[in-house]
Amino acid sequence: MPSPRDCPRRQGPATLRRRWADRPLARTVIAWIAIILIATGGLLPAGAPAQLPTLGDGSEMATAAERRLGERIARELYRDPDYIDDPVLSEYVQGIWQPLLAAARQRGELSAELDQRFAWEVLLGKDRSINAFALPGGYLGLHLGLIAAVSSRDELASVLAHELSHVTQRHISRLITQQNRQTPLMIGAMILGAIAASKNPDAANAVLAGSQALAMQNQLNFSRDMEREADRVGYAVMAQAGFEPAGFVTMFDKLQQASRLNDNGAFPYLRSHPMTTERMADMQARQQLAGRSATPPALSFEHAMVTARARVLSGAGVDALRARVAEASSAALPGQSPARQAGALYGAALASLKLRDTAQAGQLAAGLAALTRADAAGTRLARLLVAEIALAAGDAPRAVSLLPAQASGRPDVLLHAQARLRAGQPAEAAQHLQAWVALHPRDAAAWQLLAASDAAQNRPLRAIRAEAEAQVALLDYAAAIDRFKAAQELARSMARGGTLGADHIEASIIDTRTRQVESLLREQALER
């Protein structure tokens, strides 16, 4: 018999809620309801009215809400230790990504609204798995393991075109809409499960499991349709962009081989993606209808060197780095194509640099430079690597000599700025960085180098502002406001001391940017 203190009629509502919430099943229900509320209602500002779906794409999620959701995820990815901003790899990916975006615009797949509102940024991760994924708001994730695995620009283009099409076709928004339709079923099942828990815990678990299985099956069916649509649209986009669609078929073959290692043997209708063989057959049929060749393109110097860089930077351990170095002296290497030899030498030189053997790295890079002399793209990558090694060895003047100031590529600009700073020439570094950030205001690495350059020139107000802009580029608006406020306080102090001088223009810019970023921070607060 329960004691008086355990009797519900003698307890307040708050106490009852706490006691019910302490039960294991209740905690499960609360957790699931919280997840659903986040997935459905948490994406909209408080008090926002429900909207009817648009007839075009069946989407209920506004583009602004999707962009905010994407930024929320991107902020976490920027903070992830696996996130990597490697200028060489990023430039190579952008060289594929931008033509795909242009082709999507030309074909009408990328609407003017999405083009303007979404970010269209690719974030790299050091993960060695073969993976890429689309995020809300035009953000894409790309693992270095995928870059390391592809054999050509066309194969990488096929993956990026596929993921791009997920975004342009509003698949993420449509997915959330599909989840919203399932919400009543899920919540109803959870309530029934909570009621049944007092009588039969097994029955409660069965109710929950059954409802989840049904919802999951509906979700999988919807996902397979989206994958097929992304294949079809992506194929057309990459062909429009000038890439060889045969890359789709060869990429599917690689994915099929990779999946064999972790395939659970599930039937096709239980997979979130169509079977790879099904997708390969579809792409092969499209190639035949278009009269395109199925012969894969020859390996280029540039691609071989980029994939080698991805392998080394993807978190490889000491043993793996030593294996890369040993590959350069393999007896089988001279029998391979010049491009494969270049890839092996590049990987060995970079691995030696990671092992802090700059002398060996320099020797290997010299051989690479000789091998790539007749190839423009290969020559440039070899020169950048030699400059990188010289900088690591403490020879900043040599690094400066290898990096012409008029170079327009991001790796050249950032490495040139680092070399100028190491050589004690911050003014020269700042000059070129200022021009770069004016055209690329979302480049956090450039802003951080500019902050170091300004600090070295005893220009603290400009340095603090550059630090703030770097945080803005990383979507950390709270940290940016902290730096902007510090800059405002410094400007006021300088004004009182009569030392502000020409920096009054910079102080005015800081005030304007503070207001702008405060507005962005308020928008972020609506997410919570």
Q: Which residue has the tokens 């607060």?
A: 525
**232-249 confidence digits (pLDDT tens):** 999 999 999 999 888 887
| Closest-CA residue to 203 (of 25, 355, 444, 396) | 25
Query: What is the chain's length?
Result: 528
pLDDT at position 501:
86
CB of 238 within 8 A of CB of 173? no
| Pairwise CA distance, residues 24 & 375, whole Å | 65
- DSSP 3-state assignment of 294? coil
DSSP 124: E
Q: Which two structure tokens, joined as six digits, stand for 63?
A: 């583009």
Q: Taking 90 as the threshold, does the pLDDT of residue 133 lie above it? A: no
Instruction: Find the DSSP H helices in 423-503.
Output: 426-439, 444-456, 460-473, 477-496
Non-local CB neighbours of 527 within 8 Å, separated by 6+ positions: 42, 68, 69, 72
273 phi and psi angles, rounded to 5 deg = -115, 150
Q: Taking 50 as the threshold, does the pLDDT of residue 321 lie above it? A: yes
| Closest-CA residue to 114 (of 77, 43, 76, 61) | 61
What element of type H or E holds 142? strand 139-143
CB of 71 within 8 A of CB of 473? no
Identify the band that residue 475 occupies on the pLDDT scale cut at 50, 70 and 90. Answer: very high
What angle do helix axes 201-240 and 153-168 make, rounded to 10 degrees?
120
- DSSP 3-state assignment of 426? helix
**246-292 confidence digits (pLDDT tens):** 888 788 777 766 665 544 444 333 344 555 666 666 666 666 666 56
User: For 159-185, what is the mean pLDDT?
Assistant: 77
**45-84 confidence digits (pLDDT tens):** 333 333 333 334 444 578 888 888 889 889 999 999 999 9
Q: Which domains does the chain have, with CATH numbers?
A: 4-39 (no CATH), 63-290 (no CATH), 298-393 (1.25.40)
Q: Taking 60 as the threshold, does the pLDDT of residue 421 lie above it? A: yes
**DSSP string for 508-524:** HHHHHHHHHHHHHHHHH
| Pairwise CA distance, residues 228 & 269, whole Å | 14
User: For 210-224, what is the mean pLDDT?
Assistant: 50
Among the residue ranges 52-61, 109-118, 250-259, 317-326, the one predicted with the least confidence is 52-61
What is the rounded average pLDDT for all residues in the chain?
80
User: For 103-124, what is the mean pLDDT?
Assistant: 95
b/e sequence 249-281, b meaning 16+ C-beta within 10 Å:
bbbbebbeebeeeeeeeeeeeebebbebebbbe
pTM: 0.79
143 phi and psi angles, rounded to 5 deg = -85, 145
Per residue, what are the HEC states of 74-116? HHHHHHCCCEECCHHHHHHHHHHHHHHHHHHHHHCCCCHHHHH
Non-local CB neighbours of 149 within 8 Å, separated by 6+ positions: 130, 254, 258, 307
Bridge partners for 125 per DSSP = 83, 143
User: For 484-502, what is the mean pLDDT?
Assistant: 93
DSSP 319: H
Identify the band that residue 163 occupies on the pLDDT scale cut at 50, 70 and 90. Answer: very high
CB of 444 within 8 A of CB of 85? yes
| Pairwise CA distance, residues 176 & 166, whole Å | 13
pLDDT at position 289:
64
pLDDT at position 62:
85
Instruction: Find the farthest-apart pair of alpha carbons in the chain and give their distance in angstroms, rounded.
Output: 91
State the amino acid at position 216 in one-letter form.
Answer: M
